[in-house]
Chain A
C-alpha cells in the first residue's frame, strides 16, 4: 500500500495512474492462515497476483536417510509422520510395498482391517482439511464441528491400535493387534455420530453466502494442466478426472466393495470442497461394509521369517524362536530387487519405491508424496487471482508439511 502513495498526489491535469510498482508480500513460513509451514512469496499489482513462488522444506527431516539406516520394520513410525493426519494410509502403503518386494500377501481379515484403517485415516484427513479451510475463511464454529468429528474418527483409531495420532499400526505381514468382538457395534455407533456432525458442518457452510463466494470460481486450473503437473487426489477428481488408485489399480479389498468415485465439473475450490464431503460419505460406506463383512481368521501371515510368530509358538518351538531372534535383530530380508507400490492417500497418489540389496534395511526408500506435487501447482492456480483467493486455494491443496517436506 505504501508503495502506491509515495509518488505524491497526482497533478490534476495528469492522468491518474496508481499502479507504478508492484508490492511484495511474503506469507509464512509460520502464518495463521496457512496450516503447514510453507513460505509463499507474492508480487501484487493492487490485490492481483502477478508472480508467486512457493518455498517448501521447513519440515524436512531426512525421512529417506533415516529409513535407509534402519531395518525395514523400523520405518513404520517414520511413515506415521509423513501425512500425520492420515497416518494409517502411510503405514498401509509402506507395508504393501515391502510385502510386494517379499512376494507375500496378508490374510483376508488383515486386508479388511487395513482397508478400514485407510478409510478411517482418510476421514480424519478430510475433516482436518475441511475444518481448517472453514477456520481460515473465518468460520470458526464450523471448524469446531469438523474437529469434533475428527475426534470421533480418532476414537476408532484408538480402538484399533491404542493410539490416536501416532498409530504405528501396520506391520510387515500383518497388523499390530486384532480388533475385539465389540468392534462392529462400536464403529457403527461412531459413524452415526460422525454423520450427524458432518450434516451440521455442511449446513453451517453450504448455506453461507460468504463462504460460497470465496470458494466458487477460485483456484481454477484446467485438468490438462493438473495432469501435466502431476496433481492427483481430490484436486484432480474435482476437475472431472476420475483417477483414484483404489479404483484404477485396486489393492486390499477395494474391488470387492460397493463405493463410488465422486467427480466434479469445474474444478474450483467449491468443487474440491464438495468432493471431499462426498468422499467422507464414500469412506463411511466402505467402513460399514468392511466391518459387516469382516471375515474370521488370523490377521498375520503364518511365516515366522516375515511376521513375528506369537509368544506361545516362540516359547515352545525352536524354529520360531530362531526366526524371532533373526527377525528382530536383522529384519526381514527381501530378495534383491525394486518395487513401486501406490495407494490412494488423503490427498492423492502416495507411492513407495523400495530398493532392496538383500539386507535387512532398505537400500533406498522413497515416498512419492501427493502433497509435494500438489503444492507445486499452487503457483499456476493463483496466477492472476486476487490475494484473498490464495487462502482457500491453499486450503484445498491441503499441503501437509510432514508429507511434502519428508
Chain B
C-alpha cells in the first residue's frame, strides 16, 4: 500500500466537549490561550500546547501538587502529511501520586520542526527524544546529546515520516562503511 498517497485527514479529535477533566481545567486556569485546545476522547485527556509555552506547561504539570506528573512515559511524534502544521509531538504523562494520565501535543510546522527539550524536567526524555529525532527528524533544542539512537549516523532521512517509502533500503556494510547499494538497485538475486 502506498501510504504516502493516503489522504492525511488529520486524526483530530471530535468536537471539543469542554474541559470536563480536572487536569485540563487546571491547565486551562493556569495558561489560558497558550493551551491551544483540549479535549477528552475515550477517557484520555489531551491538551494541545504551543511550543513556546511547552516548558512552562510541563513545569506546572510536574510541580503542581494537584497534577504531580512525575512520570514521562512516552515521547513520540505523528506525521500528518498534507496538513498544516504537519507534525505533532506527543507526550504521555503519568502521575504516581494521583494515578492519572494526560497527553500533551505540540504542533510543529514542516519547515521548522523544532521545540524545546524537556530532559531537564524528566531525564527519561533523553532516549525518547533521541528516538523521536531519529524517526521523525524533529529537533529538540537543549537536548544534551541529540543524535540518532536506532539508526546509524550515515542514514539519510527519517523513516517514520509518511513520505519515506517503506521499501527503501539503506544497508550499511561493515563498520562505518560508506558503500551503499543504489536506491533503484534490484536486490533480488
Contacts and interface: CB of A to CB of B under 8 A. Distances in A.
Interface of A: 56-57, 60, 62, 64-66, 68-70, 100-101, 103, 225, 227-232, 241, 243, 248-249, 335-340, 342, 349, 351, 353, 355-359, 361, 363-364, 366, 368, 372-373, 376, 405
Contacts of A70: 1
Nearest to A370: B73
Interface in B63-122: 70-74, 76, 78-79, 90, 92, 94, 96, 99, 101, 103, 122
Contacts, number: 116
B70 A227 contact: yes
Contacts of B183: none
Between A66, A231, A368, A405, the greatest number of chain B beta carbons within 10 A of the residue's beta carbon is seen for A368
Interface of B: 1, 3, 6, 8-14, 41-44, 46, 70-74, 76, 78-79, 90, 92, 94, 96, 99, 101, 103, 122-124, 126-128, 131, 135, 149-151, 159-160, 164, 166
Contacts of A225: 123
Contact of A363 (B11, B41, B44, B151): B11
B76 A366 contact: yes
Nearest to B79: A364
A349 B123 CA distance: 17
A65 B42 CA distance: 25
Grouping DSSP codes into helix (H, G, I), strand (E, B) and loop, the A interface class, with mixed when no group exceeds half, is: mixed
16 contacts: A56-B150, A60-B151, A64-B135, A69-B166, A227-B96, A228-B122, A228-B124, A232-B71, A248-B99, A335-B14, A336-B14, A340-B44, A351-B73, A353-B76, A353-B92, A364-B78
Closest 9 CB pairs between A and B?
A230-B124, A57-B150, A60-B150, A368-B74, A376-B127, A355-B11, A364-B78, A366-B76, A357-B11
Given A230-B124, A336-B12, A337-B13, 11 more contacts: A100-B42, A228-B70, A228-B124, A230-B128, A337-B11, A338-B46, A349-B94, A351-B92, A356-B11, A357-B8, A357-B10
